[in-house]
Amino acid sequence: MSTHTSILAATSKKVRIVYYSLFYCLFCIISSVSAFSQNSNQLLDLIPEVKNDTVNLTDSLGKEPLSMGQRIQQNQKFLNTLQEIQSRLRQAQDTSFLQEELPVIEMVLNRIREQSLTEQSTVNLRFLNELENLIIGYNQQVNKWQESINKRSTDLIDAEEKLTRINQVLNEDIGKGEPESLQGYSQQKEALEKKFHTVDSLYRIKRFAGLRIQTQLSGIKIQLDELLESVRLRQAEFRRDLLKRDSPYLWQSHAIASEKPFSEVIHETLILNRVILKHYLETKYGWLIFLIAAFLLIYFWIRTMIEKISQTKDFSSLILQRSKYLRYSPFLGTALILLTVGPYLFSFPPYLLILSFLFGSVLVTTFLIRIVLDRPSMVLWSVMVVSFLVFGSSNLITQLAHQEKWYLLGFSMVGIIMGIQLLKLIKEKQHLFPVNLPYLIYFFLAMQLMSIAFHIIGRFSLGKILGVASTLSTMQGISLYVFVLVVMEGIYLQSELSKENQKDYANFLNYQAIYSRLKKIFSFLALLMWLYLLLVNISLNQTLGDQLITFLQKDRSFGNTSFTYGSILTFFLLIWVSSVLAKNIAYFASIRDNQNLEQRDKRLGSSILLIRLAILTIGFFLAIAASGLSLDKVAIVLGALSVGIGFGLQTIVNNLVSGIILAFERPIQVGDAIEVGNRSGVVKEVGIRSSTLQAYDGSEVIIPNGDLLSQHLVNWTLSNKSRRIELMIGVAYGTDLEKVHKVIDKILDQEGILSFPKSNIFVHNFGDSAVEFRILFWVANFDQWLQVKNQVLREIYQAFASEKIEIPFPQRDLHIKTEQLQKKPPNNKSEG
C-alpha cells in the first residue's frame, strides 16, 4: 500500500511539474510578445527615420491614397521583404540537443531525484557536492540553449510584425484605376499573395517548433532549480549533523540490516562518476587540447635546452648535474608540471577529475624521487601511495557505506606506523628530505589519529573526511615540493643556456639571488594550491568561500562612512602588488644596467626611481578605483597629510623631493663612483628617500637624498670613466735628469695608459735629499686606475735599479754633545 501511495505521489508530482512548466512557458511567451509589441510601437513613434521601406509605405496609406505606380513599387518591396524573411526562417537551427542531450539530462535528473534525494537515501557530503557541480553545469548548458532559442524567438516576432503589416495591405481595396496598370498590379498582387502564404506557413511551423522547445527548456529549468535547492538543503543538513553519530560504535555490529550491499554501492558509484565526468569533459575539450599542446611545448623546450647545453657548454656535465630531475627524465618533469597545474585550470571540476590529476602527479613523483631516495624510504613511499589509492577511491563512493569503515581504519593505522617510521628516517638521514617535511608528517599523524577516534565513537562520515584529507594532502604536499624543484631547475637551465657570450643579458643575472626570490614565490603558490585542495577534501571550500564572500561584501559603517572589508582588502592588495612589482622591476633593471657599465648614457640608473614612482602611483589610483573610495575622502586624507608635513615631516619630504630631482637631473647613476662628504664609493641604488653607496671597504652607506644635493658631490664617472693619475718620484742629486725622463717616458708607453691626453713628466721640486719628478698620465677605466698605478710604480722601480738610478731616502745629521752627558749624574734611585 505504501509503495502504491508513493508511486501515485511521485506521478502527481510529475504532473504538477509539467503543468507548472506549461503555464510558466505560456506566460513567458505572452509577456515577451506583448513587451516586444509595445516597445516596437514606441520605437516606431519616437524614431520614424529608422523605419524600413515596408513600414514607411504602409504608414503612408493612412495619410493619403497611393497611386497605382506607388502600389506596384510597394508590392515589389513587400516581395523583397518576404524573400528576406523566408531566407532567415529557412536557416537551420541546431536543435540536436533535443534528441541527444536533453533526454540524457532528464534521465539523470530523474535518477537523482528518485535514488539520491529521497528521505531514505544515505548519500554523503562528497556526493552532494558532486551533484551540486553537476546541476550547476546543466544549468549553464540550459541557459546557453535558452539564449539561442530566445534569439530565434526575437527574429520570429520581428517576422510576425512584418507579415501582419503585409497582410493588412493585401486585404485593402485598391479602388479603380487604368485597366493596363490594374492588370499588371493584379498579377503582381497574386504573386505576392502566393509568396505571403508560403512564408506565413513556414513562419507558423517555426513558431510552434520554437514554442515547443521553449516549453521543454522551461520545464528542465524548473526541475534544475528545484533539485539545486534540494541538494543545498541536504548539504546544510549534512554539515549541521556532521558531529552526530551516523554509524554504530566500533565495538558494535558494523553493518546495518537495511544497508545496500557494498558491491552494489560501488557499481552505482562507478556509473554516476562516469556520467558526471563525461558530461563535464564534453564542454572542456578546449582545455584538454590546451593541456596537450602545453605539454608538447614544455617537453620539447626542456629537451632542446638539455641538448644545447650538452653540445655548447664547456662545463655541461656540472650544469646538468645540478638539474637532477629534468636531466633524469624531461618527460616526467613536464608531466609533473602539467598534472600539478591541471586541476586549477578547470572551473568547478568533478572530484574524479581532481583525483585523476592528483594520482598522476603522485605517480610521476614516485618515478622521480627514486633517484634521490634509498630503498627503505622508497618502501615507505610505496605504502603511502597504496594508502593514497584506497582513501582517494573511497572518497568517490556516493553513499554512506559503513562496510568500508574497517578498510579505512586499517589503512589509517598503517599510515600512522609509516609516518612514525618516516620521522625516524628523517632524523637519521636529514640530507635526503626537505626541511619542512616533518611538519607535514605531524599534520598527517594528527589527522589520522582524529580519524580513528571518530570511527571508534560512531562518527563515520567525519572520520572518513579526516582520513581522506590527511592522506591526499600529505601526498600532494610532497608532490608539490618536487614540482617547485622541477620548475626551478627549468629556470636554472634556461639561465645557463642564455650565457652564450659576455654581453648577453642573462650572463649578468645573479642566479642565486633570483633563485631565492623565485623559490619563495613558487613555494607560496604551492602552499595556496595545497590549502585549496585540503579544503576541497574536507568539503569546506564552498562553505568557507561563501562565508568569506559574505563577510567581505557586507556593508559596514563607521560614523558617516560606509565601507566593506572587501574594498579595504582590495585596496591594500593592489598597493602590495604594485610595491612588489616596482621592487622587482627595479631589481631586473639594475641587472640590465650591469650590462652597460661602459656606456653611461644607456643605463637607466636613477631613472629607475621614476619607473618605481610611476608604478606606485598607478597602483595607488587603481587601488582607489577598485576599492570604490571616493576622491573627496582621498583629498581629506591628503589634506591631513599636508598638515603633518608642515609640522614634522619636512626632512622626509625634502628627501623625497630630492630623490625626484636626482631622477630627473641624473647627477648620479647607479654604478657611478662618487665622493660625498668624507664618504666615497659606488652608487648601488637611488631610492625614493635615500640612496645606497657601496664603499670600497665593503660597507654600505645609506645617504639621504637631501645630502646628495646640499653637499659637494664629486662624481668620477659623470661624463666618462677616464681618470688622471699623479705620481711623485725623487732621484738623487747628481743623476742625469734626461736619462730619468727617457726611462719614465718609455714606461708610460704601455697598454692601459691613454695616449691622449698626453702623459707629462715634470721636474717638480728640489727637495732636501732628492730631485722630485711629477708624473701625470690618464687611464681609460676608472675601475682599473689602482692596478695601472701599481704596474707603473713597479716598472719604474725595476728600471731605476737596472739603470743605476738612485732613489734617495731622507738623511739627517745628528750631533751629540758628550760633555754634558758625562756631567749629568746617573739616576740610581731605588724603589721601596
Domains of the chain: 14-240 (no CATH), 262-546 (no CATH), 557-715 (no CATH), 723-802 (3.30.70.100)
**What is the CB neighbour count within 10 angstroms for residue 47?**
9
| Res 20 pLDDT > 50 | no
CA pair distance 417, 419, nearest whole angstrom: 5
| Res 205 pLDDT > 80 | yes
Comparison of pLDDT for 496 and 511, the residue scoring more: 496
Lowest mean pLDDT among 162-176, 278-292, 720-734: 162-176
Residue 92: exposure state from Cβ atoms within 10 A (0-12, 13-18, ≥19): exposed
| Res 194 pLDDT > 50 | yes
With a pLDDT cut of 90, the percent of the chain lying above it is 14
Considering 121-130, 494-503, 527-536, the range whose residues carry the highest mean pLDDT is 527-536
Cell numbers found for residue 137:
553545469
CA pair distance 536, 476, nearest whole angstrom: 13
The confidence score (pLDDT) of residue 449 equals 93
| Res 255 pLDDT > 80 | no
What is the average per-residue pLDDT within 553-567? Answer: 77
The confidence score (pLDDT) of residue 640 equals 64
pLDDT band at 116 (very low <50, low <70, confident <90, very high): low
pLDDT band at 29 (very low <50, low <70, confident <90, very high): very low
Lowest mean pLDDT among 18-27, 358-367, 468-477: 18-27
With a pLDDT cut of 70, the percent of the chain lying above it is 76
pLDDT band at 510 (very low <50, low <70, confident <90, very high): low
Residue 240: exposure state from Cβ atoms within 10 A (0-12, 13-18, ≥19): exposed
Considering 186-200, 548-562, 596-610, 727-741, the range whose residues carry the highest mean pLDDT is 727-741
Lowest mean pLDDT among 75-79, 337-341, 815-819: 815-819
- Bond from prior residue into 757 cis (ω within 30 degrees of 0): yes
pLDDT band at 505 (very low <50, low <70, confident <90, very high): very low
Lowest mean pLDDT among 95-104, 274-283, 327-336: 95-104
What are the pLDDT digits (tens) for 237-247? 877 777 777 77
The number of helix segments (H) and strand segments (E) in the chain equals 27, 10
What is the average per-residue pLDDT within 453-482? Answer: 89
What is the average per-residue pLDDT within 490-515? Answer: 63
What is the average per-residue pLDDT within 273-295? Answer: 83
Residue 320, φ and ψ in degrees, nearest 5: -70, -25
Report whether 769 contacts 808 (CB < 8 A).
yes
pLDDT band at 629 (very low <50, low <70, confident <90, very high): low
The confidence score (pLDDT) of residue 4 equals 37
Comparison of pLDDT for 128 and 643, the residue scoring more: 128
| Res 358 pLDDT > 90 | yes
Residue 684, φ and ψ in degrees, nearest 5: -100, -35
The confidence score (pLDDT) of residue 25 equals 45
Lowest mean pLDDT among 15-29, 209-223, 259-273, 559-573: 15-29
Report whether 302 contacts 493 (CB < 8 A).
yes
| Res 771 pLDDT > 60 | yes
What is the average per-residue pLDDT within 6-21? Answer: 42
What is the average per-residue pLDDT within 319-328? Answer: 85
Report whether 142 contacts 221 (CB < 8 A).
yes
CA distances to 81, 160, 166, 184 from 77, in Å: 6, 17, 10, 16
The confidence score (pLDDT) of residue 284 equals 79
Lowest mean pLDDT among 45-54, 98-107, 116-125, 555-564: 45-54
| Residue matched to cell numbers 613558487 | 522
pTM of the predicted model, to two decimals?
0.64
Residue 458, φ and ψ in degrees, nearest 5: 85, 15
| Res 42 pLDDT > 70 | no
Comparison of pLDDT for 613 and 701, the residue scoring more: 701
pLDDT band at 780 (very low <50, low <70, confident <90, very high): confident
Calculate the average pLDDT of the chain.
77
Residue 359, C-beta contacts closer than 8 angstroms, at least 6 positions apart: 388, 389, 392
Residue 76, C-beta contacts closer than 8 angstroms, at least 6 positions apart: 188
β partners of residue 715: 674
